[in-house]
Amino acid sequence: MTKEERYQATAEQLLQLVGGPENIISAAHCATRLRLVLKDESKADVDGILKVDLVKGQFANAGQFQIIIGSGTVDEVYKRFIQLGGIAESTKSEVKKAADKKMNPVQQLVKMLSDVFVPLIPALVASGLMMGLNNVLTASGLFFPGQSLVEAYPGLADLASMINTCASAAYSFLPILIGFSAAKMFGGNPYLGAVIGMIMVSGDLLNAYSYGDAVNAGTVPVWNIFGLTIDKVGYQGTVLPVLVSAFLLAQIEKWLHKRVPEVLDNLVTPLFSVLITAFLTFTVVGGVMRTAGDWITNGLLWLHDSLGVVGGMVFGLIYSPLTMTGMHHSLLPVDIQLVAAGGSFLLAIASCNNVAQGGATLCAMLRTHDKKLKSIAATSGVSALLGITEPAMFGVNLKMKYPFYAAMLGSAIGCGYVTLTNVLNVAPGSAGFIGFVCVQSGDMLNFLIGTLLSMVSAFVITWVFSKSKRLNAELAADSETAAA
């Protein structure tokens, strides 16, 4: 069969297996996957889809029914798919809008947080890796007893200083990034959102990191406006205040656009949108949301510190199910808030989970007889070790089931260790083996031990589970065939 014939046959089979053209609301594709919004997902034959020649996996998330096909190949299959079904071509954003209508309020909240923070990940990861590089240069005892690289080679001091300046910029001005992204997501002008962020970290305000000391010393600067006493305090390192302020900005801006005459709109709307939002931020929103953020941060720290190893193991056990639903994205703003407070334990937890999925997938590669699954497991297992788990989870582990359970247990073991040793990251980073560069210099070894424990234990448990007919469907099928 030629490539063209394979593409055509795959498109024909998938069209029928998802319930036919009448069951499709919209269809698009990304680099590797068909992204469909179906009227009724129960009509889709998932087992049949997974047996199709070019299909590497399938999963449903955030209202979208996604079929993993692969880079390049998905383009060809998609062209034939929409042509056969008489389906109008949709963009990814249009598919997302259609999928949003099918989500419940909790899913919509998680998606909102994801849409705001996921675009910021490259900037935060770049800064985190630079912080990690600075840690390597300045950590005492990492390469030389009682000395850092900078102390051993003073010529590196200015390089380390420059890297540190570059690394801290994204976190010092984080509200600007969030303001831009959130305003855009809420339907407002993203540049006005950035202005709100700039106002919140203005040099005229008391730096947020100095606020606690200023309160104790009674030296917090204030404005006296219309009888109100308003603290002149910035919001460096905070997340919730600028998120809510960006939402208010977007609503005020849209309200004004509808009511201000067109001839004055470009002058009046930006002025009053920013001025009203800034006033509300400093008088109401900022204080309330700063307190809410502190409660969330302190609550997670209390769970981490008071439950200790048990809490870490429970967190590690449930992290994979959270990832399946996409709810792990809601932890990113919490991670940022914890980092701003001095250090976060979430990167170590996420890294243990990811490498556990990788270890389970690589073991599944050795235990399965399915050549197609072996090929998928080989590449997706390595990808999971580096922090990208979706192909491993949805393409292999969930399909075979027992590797997924083993990965959850392996994650719990590793997470118990990193919790016991209190591994903290000083910046968000890639949640895999390479995430060690983003943790405190003294925690790097324990981070690597914890992730290695997760991978090895997930691999071993997967191997044990694979010998159980109750857990391993392939083994049970082989036994039935032999008995017949």
Q: Which of the residues are catalytic?
A: 30
* Cβ–Cβ under 8 Å, residues 381 and 365: yes
Q: Which of 462, 473, 297, 312 has the alpha carbon at shortest distance from 399?
A: 473
Pairing of strands 64-68, 228-231: unpaired
DSSP states of 389-406 = -HHHIIIIIHHHSHHHHH
Give every CB contact of residue 73 below 8 A, 6+ residues apart in sequence: 7, 54
Burial of 66 (0-12, 13-18, 19+ CB in 10 A): buried
* Cβ–Cβ under 8 Å, residues 379 and 57: no
Name residue 278's amino acid: A
- With residues binned 3-state (H G I as helix, E B as strand, rest as coil), the percentages for the chain, rounded to 5, are 70, 10, 20
Number of other residues whose CB lies within 10 A of the CB of residue 191: 12
Could you give the strand order of the β-sheet that contains 57-61, starting from the edge strand earlier in sequence? 24-29, 33-38, 64-68, 57-61
Query: Which position has the token pair 């390597």?
Result: 136
Number of H helices, E strands in the chain: 22, 6
Query: Which position has the token pair 């993203």?
Result: 190
Here the tokens at position 96 are 């997302």
End-to-end CA distance of the chain: 34
